[in-house]
Amino acid sequence: MGKTFAFWVVLFAVLGFLLPDTFRQLTPWIVTLLGIIMFGMGLTISADDFREVARRPFDVGVGVLSQFLIMPLLAVLLTRLIPMPPEVAAGVILVGCCPGGTSSNVMTYLSKGDVALSVACTSVTTLLAPLVTPFLVLMLASEYLPVNAGAMFLSIVKVVLLPLALGFLAQKLLPSFVRAAIPALPLVSVTGIVLIVAAVVGASKGAIVQSGLTIFAVVVLHNGLGYMVGFFAARAFGLSLAKRKAIAIEVGMQNSGLGAALATAFFSPLAAVPSAIFSVWHNISGALFANYMARQTEDDPRA
């Protein structure tokens, strides 16, 4: 399931579009599904992930700042350049303000990048998300739709931090259970993400028919520019090629499941469409980008 993640996401996006009445019923469960995914992340997170921050504060700092500066600013730029409804603009900015996605760690591994740096950046941005994401959305998206930053903060705490903490606690209290459960986590995560995507697509079929191509173009540009600007930002700070790969992928791949959950809860199903399309596209582009970057080496002039 993990290796064929992109296929399943695309399949369920299509099913959500073809059977909207079936998958629309899952919309109230989006937050619960995301909580289950974050609980699974909590089962696998370790103290070593945070020791990496202490060992390499500069590298992690570059990754975290790049994550929370590049994607939000690119989102604002795209909403200024490409005409789109206010709900879509708010959704594009929201997904840009989300922390890094956990699949970025897998793509970094496939690219022969610095996996430890990628995991540390994902962990730190996820923990910072309750504060940083609502603040950025309030600053950047409030001109399009009303933003309740306080309620968004509480929602992220409940759907991200609390499940993470429970998963981490389960590691300590039930180690044998966790060891037995870990092999099934890819299946749980893939199932949760594809059901979120199908629910959002099913709930927004009409809007996708009207403006789906525009949203897809914006998502492709946002994601691709994230990889590129993240890579060159890391290079500007003098980081090695392996670190540049990690930060480029970390910046370009968002926790779009969180974006879909927040957009559905605080804006509208239409605002969740950019996150749903991002979930589909970044797993395809991430695999392609990782495959290309795996062939680049430090002594290759093209790198």
State the pLDDT at residue 209: 79
**Is 85 within the bounds of a domain?**
yes
Residue 122 included in any domain: yes
Rounded alpha-carbon distances, angstroms, from residue 246 to 43, 241, 264: 23, 9, 30
DSSP character for 100?
A: B
How many structural domains are present in the chain? 1
pLDDT digit string (tens) for 157-185?
988 889 888 888 888 888 888 888 888 87
Mean pLDDT of 55-61: 92
Give the model's confidence band at 302: pLDDT under 50 very low, under 70 low, under 90 confident, else very high: low
Read off the tokens for 185. 């986590």
pLDDT one-digit tens code per residue, 252-291: 999 888 888 888 888 888 888 898 888 878 878 888 888 8
Q: How far apart are CA 218 and CA 284, in angstroms?
A: 16
Print the domain residue range for 189: 24-294
What is the biggest distance separating any 2 CA atoms in the chain, rounded to whole angstroms? 54
Query: Residue 70's pLDDT is what?
Result: 96
Both structure tokens of 231: 């890579």
Does 216 reside within a domain?
yes
- How many helices and strands, by DSSP H and E, does the chain display? 16, 0
Q: Establish if 16 belongs to a structural domain.
A: no
Which class for 36: exposed (0-12), middle (13-18), buried (19 or more C-beta within 10 A)?
middle
Within a domain: residue 213? yes
Does residue 10 lie within any of the structural domains?
no
CATH number of 117's domain: 1.20.1530.20
- The answer as to whether 2 is a domain residue is no
User: Is position 18 within any domain?
Assistant: no
Q: Are 207 and 232 in contact (CB under 8 A)?
A: no
Contacts of 266 (CB under 8 A, 6+ apart): 147, 148, 151, 152, 155
pLDDT digits (tens, 9 = 90+) for 119-156: 889 889 988 999 999 999 999 998 888 889 999 999 88
